[in-house]
Each structure stands twice: as structure tokens, then as C-alpha cells.
Amino acid sequence: MNAPVPTSNFLDRFESRLRASLTDPGHAEREPRVLLEASEHLAFAGAAKRMRPMLVDHFGAAVGLDGQVRLAVATAAELIHTASLLHDDVIDEGTERRGRPTANVQWDNSVAVLGGDLLLCIALEQLYDLPRPVTRTAVDLVAEMTRAAMLEVQARRERNWDLGEWETIAVGKTGSLLAWCGTASAIAAGRSELAERLAGCGRHLGLAFQLTDDILDLVGEKTGKDRFADLRNANPSFPVAFVRSHDGELRAALDELWATPTANDDDLDTMAAAIVDSGAPDETLRRVEAHLDEALSSLGEFADRPGGEHVAAWADQLRNIARHSLENS
Ligand code: FPP
Ligand code: MG
């Protein structure tokens, strides 16, 4: 998914700031260097979308946030995201990310976990010169992401989740960081009264992204082992959660599938077709649209102003991607 154009050359300035944060002699000249090598390997992979920094730029423009402060918040957001991916790939035993081998594969789990820890420290350092509440909200954010990641591991293990668990995990894992882009931008700009509105916009955008990803897992053009990855691994996804909450028969069939170690690709195909027939993907699309509407209504009058209009364009783009994924399925 591409994001809309950010304000003039923000991304170039962001890339320099990100690189400076990782080449700061306070860290870069200290052993063991492998932790920063692994971090750079992921942070500067070409396929990184820089969605969070751009969101900070857009929110920052909407609330008149100073350019340097905007870069600091954007860098912190991207580093928190990168740290969470280093950890996530250890948890999920991921092998490829952003077109490169994951750090846990290229190096090992210790490097990936400790590299993520160091990145998290560097992320928080970016906020030292900003008002204290910005750092406090960042710490709260990391705690929320951490709890959500563990809830997801437990859900996958216990295989007993439905819509309630899905929502808690999606808000914590994805919505919270996009929400923080709004919170931090508003607080750092001295416009705390707007923090909840911008956070709401980010959170709803995050949920819309997560839902679109969930649709694509079910009806997207994936092949091989990747196809139906969520379904195969009992990984909480909205369409499956919807079915589990609303259709007792399908829930029982899913329980049986997940309890059958010999389940094969044909079994997965049959289950995926039943979930599609139940109307879950259409319901997922309805939720995408509802979250995008909420994101726009949180923006209110800012939707027509600089920065806000980029966010609104972004929401439109995501709406189209979600609609097309269903049309072409
Ligand atoms: C990707 O999810 C992972 C996340 C969105 C966040 C994971 C959060 C943690 C591991 C908690 C620790 C947090 C910090 C800040 C260190 P995914 O597995 O659904 O997506 P993927 O297909 O891209 O792997
Ligand atoms: Mg993962």
C-alpha cells in the first residue's frame, strides 16, 4: 500500500535524521556493533513504507508542529515500529521482511531481541528535549504493544478467540502506534486539547489497515505456504473472528481443523471458501469503511486543511484498495 505524498522533502529529511540516530557515536562506536548492524539492516531496507513518519508529518502540519520536533517524533515512531518488528520476527519465526532475510535468520534470535531493545532506547532518546508527557505516552504505548503481542501469542496457542480478542489485539498491536503519532504531534505542538482527536484518527486508520490486511490474507493473490497463513496458524484475523462469533457450525468446524495435525492445503481451501461464503469478507470491508469514516470524522475541520487533507487522501486510497481486493476475489 502506497501512502500519499508527504509535505515537501520531508522524507529526505526524515531519512537523514533516522540515519543520524543510528550512527550517533554514543551508540555506533560501542561494541558489540552487531546490534546496530541488525537494526540498520531492517530500518533501511528499501521496502520500508515509512507510514508512521508520514502520518506524523501530516498530523504535525495540521497542528503547526515545528519541523525539527516533527522529525524527532517521526524518528521515534519509526524506531519503535522497527524494534517491534525485530521482536515480532523472533516470536513469529519470520524469515523474510521488507525483501530481506529477517535479523533472526541473518544473525540469530539473541541479536534480533537485543537489537530491538537497543533500538527502543534510541527511539526514546529522540524525545528527551520534548515535553515530558510525550515520553510518558511513548512508554505507555510500548507497554500496550507488548501486552497485545503476548495476547496474540496466547490466542494463537489456545485457539479460542473471537471478535473481542481480535479487537483488543488489533488496537494494541497496530492501532496504538498510529494513535500515538497523533497524540505526540498534538502534545509536542502545545495543542493537547487535540490529542484525543488525532489519536482517534490514527487508531481508526490503523484498524482499517489491519482489516484490509486480513481481507488480503483470505482473498488476496498469495501462493504456497503464505496462502491462508492466518487461517493455518490460528492467527487472529477479523473475518475468522467474525465467523467464530456469529456462526456456531463454522466455529466448530474451525476448532476441528485446528485440532487436526494432518490438515492439508485442501482442508484450508475448503474452510477459506466457507468463510468467504458466510459473507465475512463483505463484513470486513464494511468495518474498513466504518473505521475510515470514523478516522475522517475525528479529523473534522482538519480534513480540509494542510496535513489533514493528506490523511483524508490516504483514507480514500485505503478504501479503494479494500474495495478492489473484494471485487477481484
Ligand atoms: C507485526 O504483526 C507486529 C506488530 C505490529 C507489533 C508487534 C509488537 C511486539 C512484538 C511487542 C514489542 C514492542 C516493542 C515496541 C519492542 P504481524 O505479525 O501480524 O505482521 P507481520 O506479518 O508483518 O509479521
Ligand atoms: Mg509477524
- Provide the CATH number for the domain around residue 188: 1.10.600.10
As a whole number of angstroms, the distance between CA 118 and CA 252 comes to 44
What does the pLDDT read at residue 225?
54
| Weakest-pLDDT range from 218-222, 267-271, 286-290, 322-326 | 218-222
Looking from the CA of residue 91, the nearest atom of ligand 1 is 10
Lowest mean pLDDT among 61-75, 210-224, 239-253: 210-224
In a domain, 5, yes or no: no
> Does residue 104 fall inside a structural domain?
yes
Q: What average pLDDT does the chain have?
A: 94
Q: What span, in angstroms and rounded, lies between the C-alpha atoms of 71 and 52?
A: 11
**pLDDT value for 228:** 83
169 lines ligand 1 (CB under 6 A): no
- 266 in any annotated domain: yes
Tell me whether residue 234 is in a domain.
yes
Give nearest CA residue, ligand 1 atom 18.
88
What total number of domains does the chain contain?
1
Give dist(CA 62, CA 75) in Å, integer: 18
- Structural domain for 67, as ranges: 10-327
Ligand 1 site, residue 94, Cβ cutoff 6 A: yes
Q: Is residue 317 part of a domain?
A: yes
**Mean pLDDT value across residues 228-249:** 94
Q: What is the pLDDT averaged over residues 168-182?
A: 98
Is any atom of ligand 1 closer than 6 Å to the C-beta of 146? yes
Q: Which of 120, 140, 50 is nearest to 80 (CA)?
A: 120
Q: Per the domain annotation, does 2 fall within a domain?
A: no
**CB-side exposure of 131: number of CA atoms within 13 Å?**
14
Alpha carbon of 305 to ligand 2 centroid (Å): 36
pTM for the full predicted model: 0.96
pLDDT above 80 for 312: yes
Residue 4 lies in a domain: no
Testing ligand 1's pocket by substitution, the residue of 39, 49, 84 carrying the most ligand atoms inside 8 A of its CB is 84
pLDDT value at 6 more than 70: no
- 18 within 8 A of 68, measured Cβ to Cβ: no
Q: Is residue 39 scored above 90 in pLDDT?
A: yes
Protein residue closest via CA to atom 2 of ligand 1 = 88
Cell numbers at 263, concatenated:
490438515
Locate the ligand 1 atom nearest the alpha carbon of residue 94 and give its number: 24
* Residue 109 within any structural domain of the chain: yes
Q: Contact, 191 vs 307, CB < 8 A?
A: no
Q: Say if ligand 1 is within 6 A of residue 92 CB.
A: yes
Residue ranges in the chain assigned as alpha helix (H): 10-23, 25-28, 34-43, 51-63, 67-91, 103-106, 109-125, 132-158, 163-170, 176-188, 195-219, 229-232, 238-246, 248-258, 265-277, 280-299, 308-327
pLDDT value for 221 = 73
Under 8 Å between Cβ of 313 and 61: no
- Which grid cell sits at 104? 533472526
Q: Give the list of residues 6+ apart from residue 277 with CB closer than 8 angstroms, or none.
A: none
